[in-house]
């Protein structure tokens, strides 16, 4: 687990123990063993100082504010440089026709089969059959939710998910067209590898990674016909239905949004009409009194 993350179990436990009085000194190999985040390191130091707890490292001795600022900055710069070098290496591999890492559903990595010793991809027959089933079902008019329900009922293994649920979800199938996510939008299934479409950054407020769509000019695209699973005709049929669905939703939302404004006006008219109709009733009630 990366030292830039603040949700590491041991880091959280150590941070929580700062206020318990169980110890009066934190000893570490180096400051970046506590955290590689400037924000988290500074916060940890502030809490430790408040409770009278010192921080010592093997490589620097007693840690003070100056050391916190310099060392945590260097640690974070190291991570940034490492990230840039890794990204540059992956780009070179993809441009040479290799895999950029990760495992797409329908494929497995063959270890050490690439020219640079890195693994290449091969089609997994059972998963490829499930992919074709999904594409055909959607092209024939089934909804992603219905497809996911059928797959779960038949206990067909789902792609690895962040949530670890192990179940097919609607979004697993339809994903996001522009971002290329979801089974129905993965261009690798038609023999086209698109790398660097998304970038991931850590939200400083939540420490969670969020994805952003990169400019199309930054994408690296490679034709890999040997990895095609879905026939072009079936792919085009799915894309046509996606476009038609998007247009239908837009048409349905248009009148609703217009009606919303009109509805407010109509409600005012109905309210005025109701008040007018109630006047005779109130007058008759007053006469009875």
104 falls in which pLDDT band (50, 70, 90)?
A: confident
pLDDT of residue 206 exceeding 50: yes
Cβ–Cβ under 8 Å, residues 134 and 183: yes
Lowest mean pLDDT among 35-49, 132-146, 162-176: 162-176
pLDDT of residue 186 exceeding 50: yes
pLDDT of residue 72 exceeding 60: yes
261 falls in which pLDDT band (50, 70, 90)?
A: very low
Q: Give me the mean pLDDT over the 265-276 stretch.
A: 41
- pLDDT at position 3 is 61
Average pLDDT in the chain: 79
Structure tokens at 56: 């010592």
Strands, E assignment, the chain: 25-28, 54-57, 61-62, 107-110, 120-123, 192-195, 198-202, 209-213, 220-223
- pLDDT at position 115 is 54
- pLDDT at position 266 is 42
pLDDT of residue 279 exceeding 50: no
Q: Give me the mean pLDDT over the 69-85 stretch.
A: 81
**Using CA of residue 124, residue 127, residue 133, residue 136, what is the dihedral sign?**
negative
- pTM value is 0.60
Q: Where in the chain is the domain with CATH 3.90.1750?
A: 96-230
Q: What is the CATH number of domain 9-94?
A: 3.40.50.1390
Q: How far is CA 93 from CA 120, 186, 260, in A?
A: 11, 20, 53
**CA 216/CA 273 separation, integer angstroms:** 56
pLDDT of residue 272 exceeding 50: no
**What are the counts of helices (DSSP H) followed by strands (DSSP E) for the chain?**
7, 9
**CA 172/CA 179 separation, integer angstroms:** 13
Burial class (CB in 10 A: 0-12, 13-18, 19+), 16: exposed
**CA 116/CA 23 separation, integer angstroms:** 50
Q: Where in the chain is the domain with CATH 3.40.50.1390?
A: 9-94
- Domain 96-230 class, CATH top level: alpha beta
- pLDDT at position 119 is 59
pLDDT of residue 242 exceeding 60: yes
Structure tokens at 123: 């089609």
- pLDDT at position 238 is 95
Lowest mean pLDDT among 137-146, 208-217, 221-230: 208-217
Query: What count of other Cβ atoms lies within 10 Å of the Cβ of residue 69?
Result: 14
Residue, of 203 and 77, whose pLDDT is higher: 77
Q: Which residue, chain included where needed, has tokens 């506590």?
A: 34
**CA 177/CA 164 separation, integer angstroms:** 23
- pLDDT at position 277 is 34
- Helix or strand (DSSP H, E) at 86: helix 65-95
């Amino acid at each position: 687990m990366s030292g830039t993350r603040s949700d590491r179990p041991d880091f959280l436990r150590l941070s929580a123990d700062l206020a318990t009085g169980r110890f009066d000194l934190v000893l570490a190999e180096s400051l970046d063993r506590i955290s590689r985040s400037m924000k988290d390191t500074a916060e940890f130091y502030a809490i430790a100082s408040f409770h009278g707890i010192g921080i010592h490292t093997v490589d620097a001795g007693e840690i003070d504010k100056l050391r916190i600022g310099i060392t945590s900055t260097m640690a974070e710069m190291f991570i940034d440089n490492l990230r840039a070098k890794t990204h540059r290496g992956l780009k070179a591999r993809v441009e040479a026709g290799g895999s950029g890492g990760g495992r797409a559903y329908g494929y497995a990595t063959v270890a050490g089969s690439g020219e640079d010793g890195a693994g290449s991809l091969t089609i997994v027959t059972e998963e490829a059959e499930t992919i074709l089933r999904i594409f055909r079902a959607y092209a024939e008019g089934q909804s992603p939710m219905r497809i996911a329900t059928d797959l779960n009922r038949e206990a067909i293994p789902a792609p690895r998910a962040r949530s670890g649920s192990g179940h097919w979800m609607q979004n697993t199938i339809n994903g996001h067209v522009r971002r290329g996510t979801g089974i129905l939008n993965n261009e690798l299934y038609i023999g086209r590898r698109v790398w660097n479409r998304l970038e991931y950054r850590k939200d400083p407020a939540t420490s969670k990674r969020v994805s952003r769509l990169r400019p199309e000019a930054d994408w690296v695209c490679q034709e890999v016909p040997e990895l095609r699973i879905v026939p072009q005709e079936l792919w085009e049929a799915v894309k046509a239905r996606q476009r038609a669905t998007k247009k239908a939703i837009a048409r349905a939302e248009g009148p609703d949004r217009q009606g919303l404004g009109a509805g407010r006006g109509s409600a005012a008219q109905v309210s005025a009409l109701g008040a007018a109709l109630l006047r005779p009733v109130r007058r008759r009630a007053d006469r009875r009194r």
